[in-house]
């Protein structure tokens, strides 16, 4: 086996493979033949024989001694080129790289299909949580209706801390960085892009077709304020960054998918409402199974190494049966693209917090404007005052997003309306 990368996950994986007592005995059949890194002189936490750690990664992926390449570098390049080259040389691939798979899954799966090699990626979604393999193996008999997930630990930690009153978004982010729960550049997490990568992968699996990442709508958590968390709480909700992939229906027939990431008001009694801190959870709803949920640590060296190593074990087990014929359930044959509905077509409830200069007159005007676009209101509450402006929180019934946005645009143009600081979707 050749491992590319010896950072957080690479080190965790090598530690796990070297400490085999009391674990699956198949481990003893695996040899860590090469580990590729960028800087040869960095001190390493794991002890490997001389000559195992090298910095010529191209040599590893073409080495005839190597059967399996484990890609733990991260990012798109050089990971993409190395993985493609490894496939050309007939190596089976294990990766934890969601960015690579969500962007270049197409290219990689096609190449793997032609070369007759496995690509396994349990660690790419949900860290240590078994979810890719259960979806492929245990749930593939189902018709999936929705996948609803908390799959970014950083943002879930920040929202949980804010919920518990630990401070504003910025305070909590700084804490999270100091604790190692958020990276120095947290933008991919905060902006929802990391969750978008992951839900794209889950959606392609659950709905059996490729997903164009650029069609996945995503919105981050930086607009979630403490005050919205408090109001949501009073209305019976918690705010979570949800990643959702949903099989829409039209006239009871499957229509395009809705695939999206955004802060969402989740009813307190919903199974995802109590998933806190850095934990992740993936809720799958299908027919005939109903609802199943997978919960666990979404990141961290040990948990992620568990997922990577389980891919290694299972790949070794399959290859022991046959190195020629692949297990058809474990390959990625995504022949079609899944069509995705634009976000304007989404049918959802909305929460909006509106600041107004003239509270008494505004409720009627809101009603009229919303009514004009077919938006009906579930509740309208005058919640308080901010800087002498009356604050109104509305929750709508189900509405087409495009219609809601148009109504809101008209409302925001009214003289009495100062601004709409927060708009969130409601589950």
* Strand duo 253-267 + 217-218: pairing: parallel
4 has binding-site annotation = yes
Q: How far apart are CA 105 and CA 96, in angstroms?
A: 13
Choosing among a copy of itself, ligand NAP, none, which partner's interface includes residue 299 (Cβ < 5 to 8 Å by kind)?
ligand NAP
Q: Which is nearer to a copy of itself, 143 or 372 (CB)?
A: 143
> Measured from the CB of residue 212, what is the shortest distance to a copy of itself in angstroms?
22
Concatenated DSSP letters of 81-120: HHHHHHHHTT-EEEE--HHHHHHHHHHHHHHHHHHT--EE
Choosing among ligand NAP, a copy of itself, none, which partner's interface includes residue 322 (Cβ < 5 to 8 Å by kind)?
a copy of itself
Confirm if 261 and 218 have CB atoms less than 8 A apart.
yes
24 lies in the site for a copy of itself, by CB under 8 A: yes
116 lies in the site for a copy of itself, by CB under 8 A: no
- Token reading at 89: 């040389």
Cα dihedral across residues 140, 146, 150, 152: positive or negative: positive
Confirm if 303 and 140 have CB atoms less than 8 A apart.
no
7 lies in the site for ligand NAP, by CB under 6 A: yes
Choosing among a copy of itself, ligand NAP, none, which partner's interface includes residue 57 (Cβ < 5 to 8 Å by kind)?
ligand NAP
Instruction: Return the residues of window 78-117 that contact ligand NAP according to CB under 6 A.
Output: 78, 96-98
The catalytically annotated residue of 91, 136, 198, 240 is: 198
The only residue of 43, 51, 165, 288 in contact with a copy of itself, by rule CB under 8 A: 288
Phi and psi at residue 236, to the nearest 5°:
95, 25
8 lies in the site for ligand NAP, by CB under 6 A: yes
Q: Which is nearer to a copy of itself, 134 or 421 (CB)?
A: 134
Concatenated DSSP letters of 144-181: EEEEEEE--HHHHHHHHHHHTT---HHHHHHHHHHTTS
Instruction: Return the residues of window 243-262 that contact a copy of itself according to CB under 8 A.
Output: 254
9 has binding-site annotation = yes
A 10 A CB-CB count for 38 gives 12
Binding mask 137-176 for a copy of itself (x = CB under 8 A): xxxxxxx---------------------------------
Q: Which is nearer to a copy of itself, 184 or 329 (CB)?
A: 329
Beta bridge partners of 353: 393, 422
Q: Which residue is nearest to ligand NAP (CB)?
A: 7
226 belongs to the catalytic site: no
Q: Which is nearer to a copy of itself, 289 or 363 (CB)?
A: 289
Q: How far apart are CA 123 and CA 129, in angstroms?
A: 8
Active site (catalytic) residues = 198
């Amino acid at each position: 086996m050749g491992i590319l990368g010896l950072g957080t996950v690479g080190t965790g994986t090598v530690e796990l493979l070297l400490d085999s007592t009391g674990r699956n005995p198949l481990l003893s059949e695996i040899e860590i033949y090469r580990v590729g890194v960028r800087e040869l002189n960095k001190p390493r936490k794991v002890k490997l024989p001389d000559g195992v750690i090298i910095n010529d990664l191209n040599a590893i992926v073409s080495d005839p001694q190597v059967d399996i390449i484990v890609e733990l570098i991260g990012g798109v390049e050089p990971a993409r080129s190395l993985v493609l080259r490894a496939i050309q040389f007939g190596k089976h691939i294990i990766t934890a790289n969601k960015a690579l798979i969500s962007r270049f899954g197409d290219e990689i799966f096609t190449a793997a299909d032609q070369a007759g090699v496995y690509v396994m990626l349990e660690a790419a979604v949900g860290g240590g949580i078994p979810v890719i393999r259960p979806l492929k193996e245990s749930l593939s008999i189902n018709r999936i209706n929705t996948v609803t997930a908390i799959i970014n630990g950083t943002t879930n930690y920040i929202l949980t801390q804010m919920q518990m009153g630990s401070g504003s978004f910025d305070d909590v982010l700084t804490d999270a960085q100091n604790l190692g729960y958020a990276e120095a550049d947290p933008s991919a997490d905060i902006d929802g892009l990391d969750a978008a990568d992951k839900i794209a992968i889950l959606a392609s699996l659950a709905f059996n077709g490729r997903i164009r990442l650029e069609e996945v709508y995503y919105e981050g958590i930086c607009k979630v304020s403490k005050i919205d968390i408090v109001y949501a709480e009073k209305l019976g909700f918690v705010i979570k960054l949800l990643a959702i992939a949903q099989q829409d229906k039209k006239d009871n027939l499957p229509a395009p998918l809705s695939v999206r990431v955004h802060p969402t008001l989740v009813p307190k009694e919903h199974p995802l409402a109590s998933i806190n801190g850095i934990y992740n959870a993936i809720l799958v709803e299908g027919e005939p199974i109903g609802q199943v949920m997978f919960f666990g640590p979404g990141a961290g060296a040990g948990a992620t190494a568990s997922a990577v190593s389980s891919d290694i074990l299972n790949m070794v087990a399959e290859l022991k049966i046959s190195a020629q014929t692949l297990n058809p359930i474990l390959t990625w044959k995504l022949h079609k693209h899944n069509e995705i509905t634009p976000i304007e077509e989404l049918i959802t409830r909305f929460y909006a917090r509106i600041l107004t200069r003239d509270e008494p007159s505004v409720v009627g005007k809101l009603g009229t404007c919303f009514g004009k676009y077919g938006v009906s209101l579930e509740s309208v509450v005058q919640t308080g005052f901010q800087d002498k402006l009356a604050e109104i929180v509305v929750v709508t019934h189900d509405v087409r997003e495009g219609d809601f946005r148009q109504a809101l645009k008209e409302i925001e143009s009214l003289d009495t309306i100062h601004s709409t600081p927060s708009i969130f979707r409601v589950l």
